[in-house]
Amino acid sequence: MNLQFVFMQLFNGLILGSLYVLLALGLSIIFGMLGIINFAHGAFFMLGAYAAYTITSYIIPDYWLALISVPILMAAFGSLCEIVLFRRLYDLPPLYIMLLTFGLMLVLQDAARLVFGSMGVPFGTPKSLTGMVNLGFMYYPSYRLFLIAVTSCAAFAVWLFLSKTKLGCIIRAGTDNPKMLEALGINISRTMTLVVGLGTGLAGLAGVLAAPIQNVRPLMGMDLLVDCFVVVVIGGMGSLGGSVVGGLIVGQIIAIGVMVWPPMANTLIYLFMAAFLLVRPRGLFGRESFHE
């Protein structure tokens, strides 16, 4: 095992981690605000990838346009889902809305299969980002570096938005105590719409970014979703910083696992989660109110 390979692998872990971060951020804020685990999140990610495919193959063959427009489209779609579907179930026990998101996942996956076929569709790396970059100590595909950069920017932007704007402040208060927020006269239902939109938009962005690496398939979200639950649990339910740190940790665990003992790479994260939860049941930055 040479040093170059180790570095490459750590970078690959970062790639995987970046996708986890984007997805887990959305899962986490939706969980904090609505108190539900959104099973449709993986399907939103898949839909983002298909949206990018549709735009680049049928409308305007420009990856950059897709990169900008898909998250916005997906955010609108998520908000619509909230207004039309989720909103009706807030007063019922949380199990109902969880079932709804589960059903939504199945519907979206089958819709993708009906429209685009079960075999998946091709998605090339954008022309300007093909090839490798010399980093001095190794060569690395430029698209992957780009992915890390975009994810970092997106995570930073979400953090800025949540910590420095009034709206972000309302969302953070909402994830903490929605009832109190309502008592203070804040229009909570509008905030809910916004939060689901934001989470879905991030999932859509992850979909656009993942498409050139993995191609686009109806079930592409399923594989990532389960890992994302692990990320959110390790990071701490409803904690945004936890999503970021948890995502990066899980990405690295898989990458290092592959170097050490490949057949166990994907199982390692569950072992890690189990061990971690024994020591810290609420996850890294989880708040006590959720579980303890």
Partner 1 sequence: MERKWHAILTACLLSIAFFSLVNTPVVAEPLKISVLTDMSGPYAGITGANVEAAKMAIADFGGKILGNPIEFVYRDHMCKPDVANQKAKELYEKEQVDVIFDCPNSAAGLAVANQAKIHKKPFIAIGSGTTRLSGPDCNRYTFKWAYNDYMLATAVGLWAADNLGKKWYTITADYAWGHDLLHHFSEALKAKGGTLLGNEMVALGTSDFSPYILKAMNAKPEVLVLLNAGKDAVNSTKQAMEFGLKKKVKIVHALLFIEDIKASGDIFAGDYVTGAWYWKSDNPGSKEFVEKWKKQFNKPPNWMNAATYSAVTQYLKAVERAKSKDALPVIKALEGHEFRDLLANPGKIRAEDHMEVGNAYILRAKNPGEIKEDWDFFDIVGVIPPDKAYQNPKDTGCKMDTAE
What tokens appear for 264 in the block? 């166990």
CB of 213 to partner 1, least distance (A): 7
- Which residue's CB is nearer to partner 1, number 92 or number 107? 107
End-to-end CA distance of the chain: 44
- Which residue's CB is nearer to partner 1, number 1 or number 84? 1
Q: Is the separation of the CB atoms in 232 and 42 below 8 Å?
A: no
Q: Which of 128, 83, 239 is nearest to 175 (CA)?
A: 239
Token pair 């199945």 is found at 106
- Which residue's CB is nearer to partner 1, number 9 or number 38? 9
CB of 245 to partner 1, least distance (A): 20
- Which residue's CB is nearer to partner 1, number 144 or number 282? 144
CB of 120 to partner 1, least distance (A): 5
Site residues, partner 1 (CB under 8 A): 2, 5, 8-9, 12, 15-16, 117-125, 132, 139, 141, 143-144, 213-215, 217, 220, 223-224, 254-255, 258-259, 262-263, 265-266
Report the SS3 class of residue 67. Answer: helix
C-alpha–C-alpha distance, residues 161 and 25, integer Å: 13
CB of 117 to partner 1, least distance (A): 6
- Which residue's CB is nearer to partner 1, number 12 or number 69? 12
CA distances from residue 275 to 54, 217, 265, 270, 272 in whole angstroms, order as listed: 43, 33, 16, 9, 5
- Which residue's CB is nearer to partner 1, number 147 or number 196? 147
C-alpha–C-alpha distance, residues 277 and 240, integer Å: 18
CB of 36 to partner 1, least distance (A): 26
Residue 233 bridge partners (DSSP): none
Residue 133 bridge partners (DSSP): 140
CB of 66 to partner 1, least distance (A): 16
